[in-house]
Structure 1
Amino acid sequence: MKKFVVLVLAFCMLLSLVAVASAESDIVVAYMAKNTVDAFHATLNGAAKEALDALKEDGTIKDWQLYDGLTDPITQVNLIEDAINNGANFVVFLPAEAEGSAPVVKRCADAGIPIVVVNSKTNNTDELANAYVGSNDVEAGEIMANYVIEKLPDGGKYAHMMGIVGNSAQIQRGEGIANVMSKNDKWESVGDFAADWSADKAVQFATDVLTQYGDELKAIICDNDDMSSAVQAYVNSVDRKDIVCIGVDGNAGPLAMVKEGTLGATVLQDGAA
């Protein structure tokens, strides 16, 4: 099984940037999470807390505060104003959407506040952010698709369960899947389904496509592990263990399923690295 390992180095980047700024001012960091509930972001947020607490302890930064974006770009746009009003002069930002969350990056750039974008990009990240640290999501999509083809060389029909439409990870993972699958005439897509990173929605879509396509359905590719693990558990429960499911993140639960042989594979991005 191929593996895709991403080292999230946001706080190494933070150290190098604040080392310059700290000579002139006290650093107050706003850590704006995408959310605080899903498994991958809980891991990433936990690693961020440990790193930021250490920076505060050794005096590199004065303080930091977590802002929960609730996976909502409007919430994030409002929260950046709260953060600035609370004295933030450095921002670590995990966007909810590529377009909808872009005003956060512009607001920081306009105010001269350094911003590091982490894990997924806004449309203006490359232009306006001080740095981006995260996965190559196109490659992740390609790895998932290649795994499916490797496991099932005879082909068939497959479904793609997407994250929230408009998030850069959703866009780029879908691009990677299409890059590979569109070149293989043994495989046919039955659709890209807006499951919003949700296990429940992914299972509902999987139920529908399995009902419609039956034995022709051979694989379900998911944009994250919450969806892939739930979908795999569902197809296993209806005696379709032959269906190959794969997702991205490498969370503890899906990794355990892979080891048990009840989930095909996961593409690891290491939120704690």
Structure 2
Amino acid sequence: MKNKVLYILLSAAVLTLITGCTSGDKPSETKVVVGWLQKNQTNVFETYINKGGETVLNEKKKTGEITDFILLDGNTDPSTQINQANDLINSSVSAAILQPAEADGSAPALKALTDAGIPVVVVNARTNNTDELASAYVGSNDIVAGEMMGKFVLDKLGESGGYAHLMGMVGNSAAVERTTGIHNIMDTASGWTLLDEQSAEWQGDKASKFAQDWINLHGDNLDAIICDNDDMAIAAKLACIEAGRDDIVVIGVDGIQSALQMVKSGELDGTVFQDGNGQGKKAAELAIELTKGNQIQKEYWIDFVLVTQDNVDQYISE
């Protein structure tokens, strides 16, 4: 009787083992998700960054290197980005990309993500805690961009004149650093006078209004308008042309296609090309490396290029 019971127990154990081995159950796969807090999804230059990164993320999703990705529009609002950072934390993303709206205002978003153990790549502009908390920063040296614009104006117009400066969003690191670069050059040119300096918040309509006011106020004393981005530069130059002052030299930053076309036609004097697509691609590539636990460099710099009629054809897309 004992042998019979033992036989039954052994048979049941073997059956259990066989069933366990052949049931087809697989261990659940770990999801690898990359979250991206985009600055906004409407500004022309920002869309270059977004498109570059999204191209990489789509490719890596197809190859199975990541499970999915989440794109969130920050509407250039740091409070929105802080809330969205918490959304990414709740979604248990494996790594994140932050394109800050402001240096100070978006800093809590970075802190929240890193406090939750999520590695972050910051792209295009810095928060004031990027160096301390981010796994990597991808961008271009905005001080150099400002210096390029200042040198361009001096080379084109000579040793004396009056200029105005249209700044980007107050508190944004790119706007702050481009302003620093402009002053590095223009403040050392003793014959040049800064007539006014105002923030048009990257927006063409506000830039146009400032340009009109400056032309009316300063007349022939206004020789140049230096702009922190191309949207403002295009609007300022069109305002100059409309006022019969196409002699006013205007230059911006980004190298968006509409600005490049105006440089080619001679309407806009120049732009400083910023490879937004390249920045977005690199940020996405680094975020994916972080999901694998790989070590990456702390900073990745992509050079600015001065674009004039002499080299504009190299940068115009077909």
TM-score, scaled relative to structure 1: 0.90
Task: State yes or no: 1:237 paired with 2:242.
Answer: yes
Instruction: Name the aligned partner's letter for residue 178 of structure 1.
Output: H
- Cα 1:60/1:216, change in 2 over 3 Å: same
CA apart distance, 1:89: 2.2
Whether contact under 8 Å (1:155, 1:218) holds in the other structure is no
Task: State yes or no: 1:248 paired with 2:253.
Answer: yes
How far apart are the structure 1 equivalents of 2:142 and 2:30?
36
1:1-273 equivalence runs, <5 A: 25-273=30-278
Whether contact under 8 Å (2:159, 2:189) holds in the other structure is no
TM-superposition CA deviations, 1:154-205 (whole Å, max 9, x none): 4211111011100000100000000000000111101210100010001111
Whether contact under 8 Å (2:167, 2:197) holds in the other structure is yes
How far apart are the structure 2 equivalents of 1:187 and 1:51?
45
CA apart distance, 1:25: 4.7
How far apart are the structure 2 equivalents of 1:78 and 1:109?
15
Structure 2 unaligned regions, length at least 5: 1-28, 279-318
Instruction: Name the aligned partner's letter for residue 109 of structure 2.
Output: V
- Cα 1:186/1:25, change in 2 over 3 Å: farther
SS in structure 2 of the partner of residue 99 of structure 1: coil
CA apart distance, 1:87: 2.3
Question: How many residue pairs end up in the alignment?
Answer: 250
How far apart are the structure 2 equivalents of 1:123 and 1:56?
32
CA apart distance, 1:76: 0.3
SS in structure 2 of the partner of residue 272 of structure 1: helix
Whether contact under 8 Å (1:156, 1:187) holds in the other structure is yes
How far apart are the structure 1 equivalents of 2:32 and 2:188?
50
Instruction: Name the aligned partner's letter for residue 235 of structure 1.
Output: C
Whether contact under 8 Å (1:162, 1:195) holds in the other structure is yes
Instruction: Name the aligned partner's letter for residue 80 of structure 1.
Output: A
How far apart are the structure 1 equivalents of 2:84 and 2:116?
15
TM-score, scaled relative to structure 2: 0.77
How far apart are the structure 2 equivalents of 1:212 and 1:258?
27
Structure 1 unaligned regions, length at least 5: 1-23
TM-superposition CA deviations, 1:202-258 (whole Å, max 9, x none): 111111111110000000000000000111111012111110000100000000000
How far apart are the structure 1 equivalents of 2:30 and 2:146?
42
How far apart are the structure 2 equivalents of 1:131 and 1:208?
42
1:12 equivalent in structure 2? none
CA apart distance, 1:53: 0.4
